[in-house]
Copies of this chain bind each other. A is one copy, B any other.
Amino acid sequence: MKDFDFWAPTYFAFGRGKEARAGELVRQFGGRKALIHYGGGSAIRSGLIDRVKVSLTQAGVAFEELGGVMPNPRSGLVEEGVRLALDRKIDFILAVGGGSVIDSSKAIAIGAANGGAWRHFYVGREVKVRPAIPAALPVGVVLTIAAAGSEGSPNSIITLEPENLKRGAGSNILRPKFAVMNPELTMTLPPFQTACGLADMFAHLCERYFSPTTDVALTDSLCEAVMRTIVGESVKVMANPADYQARANIMWAGTLAHNDICGVGREQDWASHGIEHELSALYDCAHGAGLAVVMPAWMTYVHKVDTARFARFARAVFGVGIGEPDGQAALDGIAAFRGWLKSLGLPLTFAELGAREEDIPLLVWTLNLNGNTLGGFKPLNDADITAIYRLCL
């Protein structure tokens, strides 16, 4: 087990109707004037934003609002949010939405606490030492999508315009102060978006589970427990989108998949996320859909690095390959994973995603490894990444 620091101080208020506590929690964590940041019209049409405003008002918290966050959140709106926060003396960012809204909120929180500067904290995988973020406004979350885990994570991913480069920032000071999690808010998601969320949280566990660190019995077992839960509950929620218990288990799984409780003590991989980010940056596809295409291709390409690990994955998560040699079990596990993604209605190929073979050199170029490698399980160079993109065809 590798040495680790783990600090996950987010306060979670989980259950039906908990958005009514948003105002109380903003105030508890020091907010007096909040920026409500959200995405499209659904949060307004559903009445959620109004309920949040009532809660803030009752708690004596003033507020401004900024909507319009799109999936794969863009730097332009972040700039607008930073200006607004500085102009109006905002002291708290309240994200009402999913991962894109939360990530955009974290970027605004950085800019507002650093005199407008935020962009240079967002860097690519070619940068080995991330710039330290000196300060950020506190961020709170009312979560509406179970997927990215940003409600409990120290990370934020923004698509930087005009180059359309997807780049990330990370620091414990970006972990939200609180997250209000009402599973009912996720019941009206379209099935495709629910499925993308499931693929995203499952991928967050894979990035941790497929690791060169093999002496982490506990986090291995925790990863498998959360993966099994996601697969098991996914069947219920796709059959009945209003299944509260399945929605609740999935929502909490999305948080635990990415707050690093399933990752501590091990070297992690994250190659598939890097490879996918170029797809969603170029084609503006859903991140979870991109992962559904990339992850099985990555697995197919790398599994022989540690066949026993992939065999264990097959048996422990999908219950296949039991009694078979590891080599066959590993392939069965990848096939079962692909089958599960297909059962969710997710794309499995470039064509289904709307990506093009002829763009592969561009994708590799924008990933910008500069001669470095990507990933911890098997360090990948440009040729490896090209091969993985080709396996997506």
Contacts and interface: CB of A to CB of B under 8 A. Distances in A.
Interface of A: 1-16, 18, 215-218, 221-222, 224-226, 228-229, 232-233, 244-245, 248-249, 252-253, 256, 261, 264-265
A252 B1 CA distance: 11
A12 B7 contact: yes
A102 to B, nearest CB: 18
Contact of A229 (B8, B217, B245): B217
A1 B249 contact: yes
Contacts of A222: 222, 225-226, 256
A326 to B, nearest CB: 20
A4 B252 CA distance: 11
B9 A14 contact: no
A14 B5 contact: yes
A248 B265 contact: yes
Q: Which of A13, A15, A218, A264 has the most CB of B within 10 A?
A: A218
A185 to B, nearest CB: 14
B3 A245 contact: no
A57 to B, nearest CB: 23
A379 to B, nearest CB: 24
Nearest to A6: B12
A222 B253 CA distance: 11
Contacts of A14: 3-6, 264-265
Given A4-B15, A5-B14, A221 B216 contact: no
Nearest to A229: B218
B265 A252 contact: yes
Contact of A3 (B16, B215, B228, B233): B16
A245 B215 contact: yes
